[in-house]
Structure 1
Amino acid sequence: MTDPLRVLLADDDSLIRTAIDAILRPAAGIELIAQAGDGRTAIDLTVRHRPDVALLDIQMPVLDGLAALREIRHLAPAVRVVVLTTFGQDDYVAQALASGAAGFLLKESAAEELEYAIRAAAAGNAYLSPKITRQVLERLPTPASRPTEDLAKVDTLSEREREVLIRLAQGLSNAEIGKQLFVSEGTVKTHVYHVFAKLGVENRVQAAMLAQRTGLLDN
């Protein structure tokens, strides 16, 4: 029997901490081992307990989530960090990813998405909420030309993988993509994995940006 994934949660809102605790407590294979209400305490607890995944709120007192993320990545690089945010704070996405975040998740995400993000981060994958992907893409300027290297990568995709990439870039979740393409969510996850591998990207935002650069979203 494998050990459960050990998770640390840092959020200054006690109601959010209570809600996430209620979600994770019955989750199979996940254990919430510590909680913090500010960034400095989150760092101290992370260094002490060495969780597999740390969930960090962006806006916290004493030290905000981005500063805490950078220090955790320096002091405990094996800990994977998933950043929590509210809808509309996507300006932080690029900073968080550049600082080494393994995921970016909306606080209002469904329980299944929270669990998936934790498991994905622990497995070494990057996860971004579909809604955040959509927000980031809407802010990007239309490219003046189509990069040859990106076009070559897209050419390696199968027709079904292209369909998945387009819908992913439109901000659809795996479940929503599955409904549109009449396949299971598990099948979509497999396609997404292959798309990321062929495109050489690590998360949905990077995949969406490449889709936009190559004109896949123009039609």
Structure 2
Amino acid sequence: MNQAETTSDHYTLLLISQPSMSVSALMTCLEKETHSAVELVPPHEIAAKLTTRSGLVLIDLNAFDDTATDQLKQTLAPFAEQHVFALLNAHDLSAKELASWPFIKGVFKKEDEVHHLCHGIEKMFSGEYWLPRHKMAALIHYYQQHHQQTIDEQAVVLTNREQQILHHLVTGASNQDIANALAVSEHTVKSHLYNVFKKINVKNRVQAVFWAKNNASLIGFTGQEGPVDNDEVNG
């Protein structure tokens, strides 16, 4: 993948929002907690800034009305492989609205504490997703209701390792969990997932889980999900 790969010790944070005292306060807190520079990107500078930068982009939905949000999605889509994107103040998004952001890797509510936000940022820079459990469940239900068709099994050929990784993905395992279970590196897991996503024509892990459940025979999935120990879907 061409998305920004870096460590939690040094990465670029871009905040798409309008200048305000509250935004300035948030930027100060993020810089203190992450030890990284946070750059404010006003809406009219998005294309220019994202072309010359690579990193994690936080999108403040409070700064956009419905019309501007639709335009924003179109503006950001070409940069999906160059950046990692997350939504701020997204607690009121429906599953349909969230599904319209296929390149989003994280969602944060207005009431989330800064330390929670920073932890999610670190996870996303490690290649994981950061979605509230109820958002993940709502997305899967949405895909079930609106995408009933499955891909012809003959059109998709997954290697044994790809089948194993997809099976673990369905059980709720993170990239690190999968790596530990298969005795491979996390980088190897990411590479396999990237190939799987291309083969089954999906854009994110939620869509991959839905596809796997509808094509269970390809990966030997029984339909039983693994236990959930926290409120976030990581990996």
Q: TM-score range by the shorter chain?
A: 0.5 to 0.7
What's the TM-score once normalised by structure 2's chain length?
0.59
Q: Tell me whether 1:113 sits opposite 2:123 in the alignment.
A: yes
What's the TM-score once normalised by structure 1's chain length?
0.62
Whole-angstrom CA distance in 1 between matches of 2:130 and 2:106: 5
One-letter amino acid of the counterpart of residue 15, structure 2: L
Q: Tell me whether 1:178 sits opposite 2:179 in the alignment.
A: yes
Residues 16-45 of structure 1, C-alpha deviation per residue, up to 9 Å, x if partnerless?
Answer: 54443345544xxxx63216xxxxxx4234
Aligned to 1:218, what secondary structure does the other structure show? coil
Aligned to 2:203, what secondary structure does the other structure show? coil
2:86 matched to which residue of 1?
83
Count residues with an aligned counterpart: 189
> Could you tell me the percent identity over the aligned residues?
23
Which structure carries more relative contact order (alpha carbon 8 Å, separation 6+)?
Answer: 2
1:43 matched to which residue of 2?
43
1:71 matched to which residue of 2?
71
By how many angstroms is 1:214 displaced?
1.4
1:8 matched to which residue of 2?
14
1:120 matched to which residue of 2?
none
One-letter amino acid of the counterpart of residue 193, structure 1: Y
> Is residue 102–residue 204 contact of structure 2 (8 Å, CA) maintained in 1?
no
1:190 matched to which residue of 2?
191
By how many angstroms is 1:14 displaced?
6.1
> Is residue 175–residue 189 contact of structure 2 (8 Å, CA) maintained in 1?
yes
Unaligned runs of 5+ in 2: 1-9, 109-115, 225-235
By how many angstroms is 1:71 displaced?
2.2
By how many angstroms is 1:74 displaced?
4.5
User: In the alignment, which of 21, 24, 40 is matched to residue 34 of structure 1?
Assistant: 40
1:54–1:164 Cα change, 3 Å: same
Whole-angstrom CA distance in 2 between matches of 1:180 and 1:113: 19
Whole-angstrom CA distance in 2 between matches of 1:69 and 1:56: 10
By how many angstroms is 1:165 displaced?
0.9
Whole-angstrom CA distance in 2 between matches of 1:192 and 1:153: 18
